[in-house]
Amino acid sequence: MSTQTADETDEFEFDESAVKRKRQLGKVFLGLCFAATMVGVVALIALLYDVVSEAWGWLTWEFLTYPPSQIVEHYNPANYGNLPTGPGGMYPMIIGSIYLITLTAIFTLFLGVGAAIYLEEYAPENLLTRFIEANISNLAGVPSIVYGLLGLAVFVRAMQTGASLIAGALTLTLLILPIVIVQSQESLRAVPDSMRQASYGTGATKWQTIRNVILPEAVPGIMTGIILSLSRAIGETAPILMVGAATTLFAPPSLTDPTGPFGAMPMQIFEWAKLPEENFQHVAAAGIVVLLTLLLLMNAVAIYIRNKYDPRG
């Protein structure tokens, strides 16, 4: 094979080996890029395999319906028959997480959508508006544990709610608010201006237009954004840990009295995962499977809403 190169002469000369080298370089690069993409996919598969295989056999109906226990034998299905106190599980934490997310959803719905409506429909183009928007994108980058510190100082201590369901929900609300606002803004922006004009043309006021025309049109997008944000919030550990979520709580919190102590799934999983006894790894994994299942369900609902109402099909 000749190794002469094209730059020896000014005239164009087809150099087969250079083309071949370039082709090989291209193939190597493509292989590298594909391998990199596979790193993420393989990591995900390894993670799910690890969690499910550790949880296998430990995730039972009793695990879902009984309060936790300090003793690892109580979680092992093989021992269920001879336990005086009943099996160990994470029932209070499952209910706690669901209540926590319910309250967070209510707060987020009002604050997030309200703020998005102001920014998209009312806000004049001035310095204050630009400041608010820059501030929102900054808040989205604040570490979640800092929100926990905020919740601890403002809700738990200053407002004296104690380490309660309401303190946890308010903290999570502030945490996901920036994301919810940005996504709601996008949904509102997608409502065509012609619909606003048509409404004003019939003599409707601004509030009537928002209420009757813009919001109904934007609701599917807003709902999708809120559910996805809530599914992020349900897995957050650091903020509820700082606020003081309880572990080994034997009764679920009450939604009618949100000032009592609460336990939530991620915090309980953290407690189990850091225990030295090997078998607690299985218990933590079983908890993770429950958490991920709930998360998956919420995501499925969000995708269903998006597909059902997306005009592009």
Please pick, from the candidates 52, 83, 145, 215, the single residue that binds other proteins as defined by CB under 8 A.
145
Residue 212 engages other proteins in binding (rule: CB under 8 A): no
Residue 186 binds other proteins, judged by CB under 8 A: no
Burial of 260 (0-12, 13-18, 19+ CB in 10 A): middle
**Subset of 57-96 contacting other proteins (CB under 8 A):** none
* Residues 246-275, interacting with other proteins (CB under 8 A): 266, 269-270, 273-274
Nearer to other proteins, 99 or 271 (CB): 271
Q: Is 32 in the site for other proteins (CB under 8 A)?
A: yes
Give the closest residue to 73 by CA, choosing from 91, 58, 90: 58
Distance from C-alpha of 1 to C-alpha of 13, rounded to nearest angstrom:
15
264 half-sphere exposure, CB direction, 13 A CA radius: 30
Asked if 138 touches other proteins (CB under 8 A), the answer is yes
Q: Identify the residue whose tokens are 């218990």.
A: 283
Most distant CA pair in the chain, distance: 93
* Least distance (Å) between residue 175 CB and other proteins: 9
Considering only residues 92 to 121 of the shown chain, the ones binding other proteins according to CB under 8 A are: 110-115, 117-119, 121
22 near other proteins, judged by CB under 8 A = yes
Distance, in Å, from the CA atom of 188 to the CA atom of 259, rounded to the nearest integer, reads 35
CA atoms within 13 A on the CB side of 65: 4
Strand partners, 164: 261
Q: Which of 100, 166, 285, 290 binds other proteins (CB under 8 A)?
A: 285
Three-state DSSP state, 142: coil
Report d(CA 295, CA 165) in Å as an integer: 20
**Residue 80 or residue 200: which is nearer to other proteins going by CB?**
200
- For other proteins, the closer CB: 81 or 201: 201
Question: Least distance (Å) from other proteins to the CB of residue 300?
Answer: 12
25 versus 255: smaller Cβ distance to other proteins: 25
List the one residue from 56, 61, 207, 250 that touches other proteins (CB under 8 A): 207
